Chains A and B, each alone.
Chain A
Amino acid sequence: MSRLTDANIAIAYEIIGRYPRPKSALIPILHLAQEQDGYVAQDAMKHIAELVGVTPAEVFGTASFYEMFKFEPVGKYLLNICGTMSCALMGAEELMHHAEKRLGIKAGSTTPDGLITLEHAECQAACTEAPCLQVNYRYRFKMTPGELDTLIDDLAAGKLTDEIPAHGVLATVRQRIPAERGVGAVAPEKVNESPQWLDGKPAL
């Protein structure tokens, strides 16, 4: 969708100021973009490339490694139902079927009202609490179909807005590092000093 807003550009510069090289700020600014739009938009990646001085291909190359960055719009709530062994044994499949039926969509898609995106997830490291799921990465343990219904009702009614912010919001409290406490940019010629490599050529 969009480039970063003016307010977010200001935050982006603050983030860049924390690091000796602008491109080190790539991941935090990607989070910022995802927070702004709910996913990482193409234009946002181009904008980030400009801000940190790399190409959009390099931004995409890095960003696409991370499962938690989404490059297509997702619903306000991302519902990840674990399907790995422990959860599978404890009824994850039924839970998924139930969710699909209840929401009227298949796993991997978003409800027409844009509220919920349903996804399969691999082990969420809560095997003792199987079957488990996450809503925008907030856990719900030992879920039954009934509890899932309640969860969906609550999400739709906006009852959980305090506990679960919209997809993309990393935390409700933003970490701020004032400019004078950032590492800041070092002299440009220092930044360009790339790590020492053996380039296969005879040493001079």
Chain B
Amino acid sequence: MSTTESTPDQVETEVVVDPNAVSLTINGKTVAARKGELIIAAADRTSDFIPRFCYHPRMKPVGMCRQCLVEVEGPRGPMMVVSCMTPVAEGQVVHTATEQVKKAQEGILELLLANHPLDCPVCDKGGECPLQDQAFSHGPGESRYVEEKRHYEKPIPISDLVFLDRERCILCDRCTRFASEVAGDPLISFTHRGNNTQVLTFPDEPFASYFSGNTVQICPVGALTAKPYRFKARPWDLEETQSTCTSCSVGCATVIQSSRDQVLRFQGHDNDEVNWGWLCDRGRFNFESINSENRFTTPLVRENASLVPTSWSKALEVAARTIRMAVSSKGANSVAILGGARLANEDARAWALLANNLGLTMHDAQLDDGLSTEVFHLPQATINDATSATTVILLSPDLKEELPVLYLRLRDAATKNRTRIIEFTTKASGLTRYAWKSVNYEPGAQVAAVAAALNDSEIANQMRKGNVVIVLGRANLAESSDFTAQAYNAIATAFPAVTVLPVLRRGNIRGAVAAGLASENNARSILTAASEGHIECLILLGADPLSDVPDLDLVRRALAGAQNVIAVDTFPTASTLRADVVLPAAAYAERGGTTTNLEGRILPLSQKITARGTSRPDWMIATELAEQLGADIGVESINDLTAIEVPAQALQVLSAAGISAPERNSYDLRLVVSRKMYDNAVSTVTSPSLAQLSIGAGIYLNPRDIERLGAPVGKDVKVSTSLKSVILTLHADESVLKGTAWVPFNQPGTDIRELLNANDLIVDVRVENLS
């Protein structure tokens, strides 16, 4: 046995430096640990692996499986303990591989396998299965059990995405713990506890958690399988690379797995700063969109009424000619670029260089649905800053719907009593249950609500207790973003030390802005200019304004008014159908680079498969277009492009127009328009497993308003502003504030953007029965 023990001197110095330091011995080797740490966690830093099924470093230990038994020396000799429930102690002597330990571990495995069907050849988990692996490494090799095994109906769906095979389940409590402890959706539970313990949902209530895919990943056997991956591949045929999810701006660490040049699965990867290994189901399962048939694989140019396939050289030539003619006839102001948040930093940088070279002044990476890019110049906070702050103030959309894993992180902080959340919201959100204070306001009254809260001595005292982080984003698309800016300013003026976690939601929005894809002129002014006929050439960089810009009328007029539209995109969308030239861009996983998450953290994006058809990365398209245009942007390869660091932080408050909302007529309801996790986003609708999960267009009112209006729940009603009206199905929803109406954005069915107008400060609607 090696003698790496530290001398008493060293130990003493350590204790002085850190009162939480603990030194113990594992299999004769000295291990430095911290008070409260578990033996299994300390052992994980050594080369001695302790087998385990139920222990997961991101969840509370429960000691369910007993596979992690080790011996700890005590006054009465060695004692068998579960290493996932036993904390380290000073001078503790641990053995993980004695005869006794081996016997115990083999015994447990024999018991776990007593009822296990051993259908590894037809099990998705086979090849990456902790049960299989540990049966080989720590099992007895054979079983004394000859009895009939337990039988259950083979896999039953427990949600639209997850199947459960109860015969394979070893009752480790990981999925159920995840559901209640991490996701806060305890929709699965051990039932029929005893001889027939099994994981089940309530009979008619599926495991419809936004985070259900994580249970599939952490299940240590093949009991839980995900519909999008079932029987698609064997683990040993998969190749993988680490990357970052860009479905929203949280930037969760992922592993992209592919086989035969096809992406088959995304897995979560543990990143201490960001996602702790978790993914939301949208981010996890929208890999299907990459394999969608519905993609651009070749350049297209408009010939008369239709878009026809052509060569890259022809398409680039047409695009370059369009841009050149626009610049020469109407000046650089007549060429506009919208979008860029889908792009990698390098792509965005190449496009920004091209825009600069041509002297363009009309570009924006947002689509009039976020906040001013000034938010990036406020004093910034990271996710970890927020989860360790004394107080977090939410001036943001429902994080559970829009930035799901950030919701998990904040929920964790709030439930572990580290952080108090003060929420300002127009509608009960995913975090309302965990908020210390949840303040409801009617659209337009956000500033008043914030001012009142700041005058509340309990709230003000709480905010004085320590760090305050404001999560700042666009909560309501039917309300001027100036109200949010005013509300932020009120807090930042009263508490100048606050820091900000900006939550503009679109994937690489922060990177695109940092790269230079946002100009003085924002999307709204660009679209207005286009509608007035001032834009000769509108370039859409992976943007679909016809689906995403809140003011539908404005965007329709803009696309009609723009002389030419060049679309650089991966998927056909409402807007690309209107294009004169389509340049097919490589999809996620088909190109590399970096992405910047909402905190400004630059994270890797990896290429795993070859791009479909002749589609190319966006930076390459920009470079080739630059060449056609004779514009030297100095880019030969992706290595000439570097991600731009987040610019210096110079602002204390945001510029905000001094607007105030008009009174609401008591017959009207004030409109709240916000997003759900599953909507018409192109990566969702092109993923068959997710496309069906959208709730569909509708209007949701507080039950008391419904009673007052005598409106028919479940039936269509007429919803009108002073200008327009739409027909929507009416639903009752307790989480909607009285006097307001909630309408989800961009859902299948009626386009509710008919009700929105970019210049409206707030939108009041009237709900009437049809007939």
Interface residues of A (CB under 8 A from B): 42, 45-46, 54-62, 64-65, 192-194, 197-203
Q: Does B35 count as interface, using CB distance less than 8 angstroms?
A: yes
In the bound assembly, the distance between CA atoms of A203 and B84 in angstroms comes to 15
> Contact between B194 and A65 (Cβ–Cβ < 8 Å)?
yes
**For residue A202, which residues in chain B have a CB less than 8 angstroms away from its CB?**
20, 34, 36-37
Question: Which of B170-210 touch A at CB < 8 Å?
Answer: 180, 185-194, 200-205
Known: A56-B202, A64-B191. Is A199-B60 also a contact (CB below 8 A)?
A: yes
**Among candidates B87, B191, B201, residue contacting A198 with C-beta atoms closer than 8 Å:** B87
Q: Does B85 count as interface, using CB distance less than 8 angstroms?
A: yes
> Contact between B36 and A55 (Cβ–Cβ < 8 Å)?
no
> Contact between A200 and B192 (Cβ–Cβ < 8 Å)?
no
In the bound assembly, the distance between CA atoms of A203 and B36 in angstroms comes to 5
**For residue B415, which residues in chain A have a CB less than 8 angstroms away from its CB?**
192, 194
**For residue B200, which residues in chain A have a CB less than 8 angstroms away from its CB?**
57, 60-61
> Contact between B193 and A197 (Cβ–Cβ < 8 Å)?
no
Q: Does B525 count as interface, using CB distance less than 8 angstroms?
A: no
**For residue A201, which residues in chain B have a CB less than 8 angstroms away from its CB?**
36-37, 57
**Among candidates B61, B185, B204, B205, residue contacting A197 with C-beta atoms closer than 8 Å:** B61
Q: How far is the CB of B24 from chain A (nearest CB, A)?
A: 14
Closest to B196 in A: A64
In the bound assembly, the distance between CA atoms of A58 and B185 in angstroms comes to 11
> Contact between B187 and A65 (Cβ–Cβ < 8 Å)?
no
**Among candidates A42, A57, A192, A197, residue contacting B189 with C-beta atoms closer than 8 Å:** A57
Q: Does B417 count as interface, using CB distance less than 8 angstroms?
A: yes
Q: How far is the CB of A63 from chain B (nearest CB, A)?
A: 8
Question: Which of B1-36 touch A at CB < 8 Å?
Answer: 20, 34-36
> Contact between A57 and B205 (Cβ–Cβ < 8 Å)?
yes
> Contact between A60 and B189 (Cβ–Cβ < 8 Å)?
yes
Most buried by B among A46, A57, A194, A201: A57
> Contact between B188 and A57 (Cβ–Cβ < 8 Å)?
yes
Closest to B414 in A: A192
> Contact between B20 and A57 (Cβ–Cβ < 8 Å)?
no
**For residue B57, which residues in chain A have a CB less than 8 angstroms away from its CB?**
200-201
Most buried by A among B41, B193, B202: B202
Most buried by B among A55, A65, A193: A55
In the bound assembly, the distance between CA atoms of A45 and B273 in angstroms comes to 40
Q: Does B320 count as interface, using CB distance less than 8 angstroms?
A: no
In the bound assembly, the distance between CA atoms of A192 and B434 in angstroms comes to 10
**For residue A64, which residues in chain B have a CB less than 8 angstroms away from its CB?**
191-193
**For residue A45, which residues in chain B have a CB less than 8 angstroms away from its CB?**
202
> Contact between A200 and B61 (Cβ–Cβ < 8 Å)?
yes
In the bound assembly, the distance between CA atoms of A86 and B37 in angstroms comes to 52
> Contact between B61 and A198 (Cβ–Cβ < 8 Å)?
yes
**For residue B185, which residues in chain A have a CB less than 8 angstroms away from its CB?**
55
**For residue A54, which residues in chain B have a CB less than 8 angstroms away from its CB?**
186
Q: Does B135 count as interface, using CB distance less than 8 angstroms?
A: no
Closest to B35 in A: A203
Closest to A203 in B: B36
Question: Which of B690-734 touch A at CB < 8 Å?
Answer: none
Q: How far is the CB of B533 from chain A (nearest CB, A)?
A: 57
Size category of the binding interface on chain B: 35 or more
> Sorted from nearest, which 4 A-B pairs have the closest CB atoms?
A61-B189, A203-B36, A56-B202, A202-B34
> Contact between B37 and A200 (Cβ–Cβ < 8 Å)?
yes
Q: How far is the CB of B98 from chain A (nearest CB, A)?
A: 24
Interface residues of B (CB under 8 A from A): 20, 34-38, 40-41, 55, 57, 59-61, 84-85, 87, 180, 185-194, 200-205, 415, 417
Q: Can you list 22 A-B contacts (CB < 8 A)?
A: A42-B203, A54-B186, A55-B189, A55-B205, A58-B180, A59-B202, A60-B202, A61-B191, A64-B192, A65-B194, A197-B60, A197-B61, A198-B36, A198-B38, A198-B61, A200-B37, A200-B41, A200-B60, A200-B61, A201-B57, A202-B20, A202-B36
In the bound assembly, the distance between CA atoms of A200 and B35 in angstroms comes to 10
> Contact between B38 and A200 (Cβ–Cβ < 8 Å)?
yes
In the bound assembly, the distance between CA atoms of A194 and B87 in angstroms comes to 19
Q: How far is the CB of B539 from chain A (nearest CB, A)?
A: 48
In the bound assembly, the distance between CA atoms of A64 and B38 in angstroms comes to 33
Q: A58-B180, A193-B417, A198-B61 are in contact. List 14 more A-B contacts (CB 8 A).
A: A42-B203, A45-B202, A55-B186, A56-B202, A60-B189, A60-B191, A61-B200, A64-B192, A192-B415, A199-B61, A200-B60, A200-B84, A202-B20, A203-B36
Q: How far is the CB of B70 from chain A (nearest CB, A)?
A: 15
**For residue B191, which residues in chain A have a CB less than 8 angstroms away from its CB?**
60-61, 64
> Contact between B34 and A55 (Cβ–Cβ < 8 Å)?
no
**For residue B186, which residues in chain A have a CB less than 8 angstroms away from its CB?**
54-55, 57-58
In the bound assembly, the distance between CA atoms of A65 and B189 in angstroms comes to 12
**For residue A203, which residues in chain B have a CB less than 8 angstroms away from its CB?**
20, 34-37
**For residue B204, which residues in chain A have a CB less than 8 angstroms away from its CB?**
42
> Contact between A55 and B20 (Cβ–Cβ < 8 Å)?
no
In the bound assembly, the distance between CA atoms of A58 and B202 in angstroms comes to 8
**Among candidates B34, B36, B187, residue contacting A57 with C-beta atoms closer than 8 Å:** B187
**For residue B38, which residues in chain A have a CB less than 8 angstroms away from its CB?**
198, 200
Closest to B62 in A: A197
Q: How far is the CB of A178 from chain B (nearest CB, A)?
A: 31
**For residue B37, which residues in chain A have a CB less than 8 angstroms away from its CB?**
200-203
Closest to B84 in A: A200
Closest to A59 in B: B202
> Contact between B192 and A57 (Cβ–Cβ < 8 Å)?
no
**For residue A65, which residues in chain B have a CB less than 8 angstroms away from its CB?**
192-194
Q: How far is the CB of A124 from chain B (nearest CB, A)?
A: 18
**For residue B87, which residues in chain A have a CB less than 8 angstroms away from its CB?**
198
**For residue B201, which residues in chain A have a CB less than 8 angstroms away from its CB?**
57
**For residue A57, which residues in chain B have a CB less than 8 angstroms away from its CB?**
186-189, 200-202, 205
In the bound assembly, the distance between CA atoms of A122 and B20 in angstroms comes to 53
Q: How far is the CB of B38 from chain A (nearest CB, A)?
A: 5
In the bound assembly, the distance between CA atoms of A193 and B416 in angstroms comes to 8
**For residue A59, which residues in chain B have a CB less than 8 angstroms away from its CB?**
202
In the bound assembly, the distance between CA atoms of A61 and B417 in angstroms comes to 27
Q: How far is the CB of B316 from chain A (nearest CB, A)?
A: 54
Q: How far is the CB of A182 from chain B (nearest CB, A)?
A: 25
Most buried by B among A42, A65, A200, A201: A200
In the bound assembly, the distance between CA atoms of A193 and B84 in angstroms comes to 23
**For residue A200, which residues in chain B have a CB less than 8 angstroms away from its CB?**
37-38, 40-41, 55, 57, 60-61, 84
Q: How far is the CB of A187 from chain B (nearest CB, A)?
A: 13
In the bound assembly, the distance between CA atoms of A201 and B192 in angstroms comes to 33
> Contact between B189 and A58 (Cβ–Cβ < 8 Å)?
yes
In the bound assembly, the distance between CA atoms of A192 and B416 in angstroms comes to 9
Most buried by A among B40, B84, B189, B201: B189
Q: How far is the CB of B18 from chain A (nearest CB, A)?
A: 10
**For residue B203, which residues in chain A have a CB less than 8 angstroms away from its CB?**
42, 60
In the bound assembly, the distance between CA atoms of A42 and B201 in angstroms comes to 12
> Contact between B187 and A55 (Cβ–Cβ < 8 Å)?
yes
In the bound assembly, the distance between CA atoms of A198 and B78 in angstroms comes to 23
**For residue B61, which residues in chain A have a CB less than 8 angstroms away from its CB?**
197-200
**For residue A198, which residues in chain B have a CB less than 8 angstroms away from its CB?**
36, 38, 60-61, 85, 87
Q: How far is the CB of A194 from chain B (nearest CB, A)?
A: 8
In the bound assembly, the distance between CA atoms of A198 and B40 in angstroms comes to 12
Known: A42-B204, A45-B202, A202-B37. Is A61-B84 also a contact (CB below 8 A)?
A: no
In the bound assembly, the distance between CA atoms of A161 and B203 in angstroms comes to 34
> Contact between B202 and A55 (Cβ–Cβ < 8 Å)?
yes
**For residue B187, which residues in chain A have a CB less than 8 angstroms away from its CB?**
55, 57
Closest to A45 in B: B202
**For residue B85, which residues in chain A have a CB less than 8 angstroms away from its CB?**
198
**For residue A194, which residues in chain B have a CB less than 8 angstroms away from its CB?**
415
In the bound assembly, the distance between CA atoms of A192 and B414 in angstroms comes to 10
> Contact between A61 and B36 (Cβ–Cβ < 8 Å)?
no
Q: How far is the CB of A146 from chain B (nearest CB, A)?
A: 36
**For residue A61, which residues in chain B have a CB less than 8 angstroms away from its CB?**
189-191, 193, 200
Q: How far is the CB of A140 from chain B (nearest CB, A)?
A: 27
Q: How far is the CB of B365 from chain A (nearest CB, A)?
A: 38
**For residue A56, which residues in chain B have a CB less than 8 angstroms away from its CB?**
202, 205
Q: How far is the CB of A20 from chain B (nearest CB, A)?
A: 18
